[in-house]
Structure 1
Amino acid sequence: MRCAIRIAACWCVWHALAFAPRAHAGVVLANTRVVFSGDARDVTVRLSNRHAYPVLVEAWVDSPIEGAHVPFAADPPLFRIDPGKGQALRVHRLPGVLPEDRETLFWLNVLDVPPDPPATAEGSDMKIALQTRVKLFHRPKGLPGAPAEAPAALHWRVLDDARIAVDNPTPYHVTIARIAGHDGWDVQGVMVAPFAGVVVPYSKARGGSGRIVFEAINDLGGRDKFDSPLAEARAQ
């Protein structure tokens, strides 16, 4: 019996596992996120194979919105990487209209398929495929402000004793890696879309100073620390 197991490893996204080290995957991307400038025709992403064996790699771009048009294509879409070697993957812009007043989020997916293992005496084997997914941001040219300044522009306010609201008035996506609590860091892994907001669990007992300390992921995949005002809940 042949058993195929696909393990999806999502980096930088919606939960704590999004910020796990990239070394868990054998085929490693040089980028933890890809920024596609609005005036670019393509971008190049470097991949390397850390396995001790050759792998077949499939690459594609999709959208977090089901059924949405995806005006990007990975080239080549299917290729082999020998052990210890690398491969340049290009993402091409295809025809299609995207918003010009804000970033748009897509996903770049890389599926790492190892060769078939040798058959065992029992006649069964196992193949494990690893899928890596990183954010691809389409960033129109000429957006106001700078991406590095967007986290500092977030508006934080207390909703009640267990929740705070985070509003993003900028045209950039902001990924919050973690928020400081009274006894350490609370890992959140929350992304706030442009001109949108989210609600996150947060006890007032953790703060009380009228400030919020958090870390956000920058374009290079590093973490920048911010200290912002935390508005109290409005009286009913």
Structure 2
Amino acid sequence: MTLDSYPRVLESAAQWHTQLAAIKRDNPAVDFSWYGYDILANLWHIEGLLGSEHGSLFAQLAGQPVADIGAADGDLAYFMERLGFEVDVLDWPSTNWNGLLGARRLHQLLESNVGIHEVDLDSQFKLPRERYGLVFLLGILYHLKNPFFVLEKLARHTSYCFISTRIARNTAGGDLNLEQAPVAYLLDPQECNNDATNFWIFSMPGLKRLCDRCGWDVVAERRVGNVVTSNSSSPDHDERAFLLLRSRHV
């Protein structure tokens, strides 16, 4: 696989997307349901972070371990394995969509060597390895009780990190503008998608300051979704931030 061209990586991702859908279709879940969202779509959002300047990042990291944290069924992790990386999945059964049964089933079907590790990110956790070249932390940050600890921990063990998380420009009623302030909004348990594991909705300045305080440089950023009137609660006003981070410690 040629890693120095990210468009080629996306070609392979599109092929893997089709193959994986067929695998799941031909192997119906028993006593669990496959994860309900398209994790691989994140790779196309990441393209907007890499551009021409960082398009060879995967090639630069060849031979270095990769971690997929909050991996759902591991669709992305198993794709990175196909690209030639050693990969670890880090997730916690009680907060995973299907208790990690989907990831373990794919592991069996694919005869994979990906490591599946049960790690509670809300604890004082340890990583399976001392060093990673790259970590994916996609759609997880606003579910964490202590995002400061997690980001600081990763910065000491990881060279690069892709992050995505929900952000907002306003509070739900529109009475408070968050766009210019480095803040995090603490959600009520039923306020956002009726999901008590949703904790923090950052402003973009707040998210970037958090990363900086935890030892990361923001290499690239992009915003997707409702990039005009996003708020902290409504599914119709959902905005996501994608960041490429580089550790100042590793």
TM-score, normalised to structure 1, is 0.25
More helix by share: 2
Greater C-alpha Rg: 1
**Larger RCO (CA under 8 A, 6+ residues apart):** 1
More strand by share: 1
